[in-house]
Amino acid sequence: MNSRFYDSGVDTIDEAATLGIGDVAKATGLSEDTLRYYERIGLTPHIERAPSGHRRYRNGDLAWFTFVTHMRATGMSLETLGRYADLLRAGAATAAARRELLTAQAALINDRIADLHAALAVIEHKLERLDAGTSTGSDGPRC
């Protein structure tokens, strides 16, 4: 898990306090352009505006961006995230549908982890053979 979400001090901000887009970009690791894009495509909850028109974000917005960033890191598409966001906005009656989306994503992650473990086992085997001086290349692709 990327610690940038937890080392930013975000969890100490008063819920009534708001942050500008630069502060949110720094706290989440997302660019200002990405934050604007997420708002434009409807992926973010309603973002408040100051009288000047500048975006003002709250703790809940930061928690959402953290969730989105983690889901994107798992390979979840913006389309699926958008569907999840729509379900979330629709309320508690959509909990089962949201659970289904997350369950499907968890299955994809577990499949990817299994693939990575298999690839790691191949690398570790090759390293053992190299360390023992027994890897001549005759046991498969030359490497």
Give the predicted TM-score (pTM) of the model.
Answer: 0.75
* Mean pLDDT, rounded, of the chain: 86
For the cut 90, the answer to whether the pLDDT of residue 15 exceeds it is no
Structure tokens at 83: 């569907």
Q: What is the per-residue pLDDT across 50-96, written as a single tens digit (0 to 9) for each?
A: 999 999 999 889 999 999 999 999 999 999 999 999 999 999 999 99
Q: What is the mean pLDDT of residues 88-113?
A: 97
pLDDT classification of 140: cutoffs 50, 70, 90: low
Task: Calculate the CA dihedral of residues 18, 21, 26, 31 and round it to 10 degrees.
Answer: 150
**Average confidence (pLDDT) over 10-21:** 64
